[in-house]
Structure 1
């Protein structure tokens, strides 16, 4: 198995876990759907299929969403996360910060596939 297949298989599993953890979210339909789309693109990447336009749209939408949800103070959010003993959401700002980083992760994971698609 080559590195591209391992990369996308690993991220498909991780995104499936992320989707599962979103079921108790205040708006699970948005975030479960978001991670399911990421899983689909990971499975396509696993098969060596990199659709240029859909990947570009996904990356741009995720980056725009991340900017929209960007926490006012990243350092305060990180301190809050490190100080708590569990992963429960304590404030709406923590939830938005987590959503921001989830979107950034999706964009970063999809970027290599987009670059591959663009080079073809």
Structure 2
């Protein structure tokens, strides 16, 4: 089994889990859809398919979205998460921090595919 199959196969499962957890979110239609798109591109990566423009657009959208949601104080968010001892959302700050972090994860998972897509000779 190749690295692509293991890497993208694992992320298909993780993004499916992330999407499942979004059903109790205040805006599940947005976040389940975002994770579904990540799943689709991971399934393509699993098959060795890296569509240059769509993959680049998804990567860029995640980076831009993460920057827009970013609250700037990660230590405050982490300390709030640790202090509450559960995963319930207590503040808008926590929700936006989690959403930003999710977009960063998607972007990082998409990055190897973007690099492969742009290195591949047309």
Question: TM-score interval w.r.t. the shorter chain?
Answer: over 0.9
- In the other structure, the counterpart of 1:52 is 52
Question: What's the TM-score, normalizing by structure 2?
Answer: 0.96
Deviations 1:15-68 (A, max 9, x none): 000000000100000000000000000000000000000010001000000000
- In the other structure, the counterpart of 1:34 is 34
Matches within 5 A, 1:1-120: 1-120=1-120
Q: How many residues end up aligned between the 2 structures?
A: 120
Q: Secondary structure at the match of 2:43?
A: helix
Whole-angstrom distance in 1 between the partners of 2:102 and 2:69? 11
Runs (4+) of structure 1 exceeding 6 A deviation are none
Point out where structure 2 has 5 or more consecutive residues left out of the alignment.
Answer: none
Q: Secondary structure at the match of 2:88?
A: coil
Question: What's the TM-score, normalizing by structure 1?
Answer: 0.98
> How far 1:13 moved relative to its partner?
0.3
Whole-angstrom distance in 2 between the partners of 1:116 and 1:65? 23
- RMSD over aligned Cα atoms: 0.6
Whole-angstrom distance in 2 between the partners of 1:86 and 1:79? 12
> How far 1:72 moved relative to its partner?
3.7
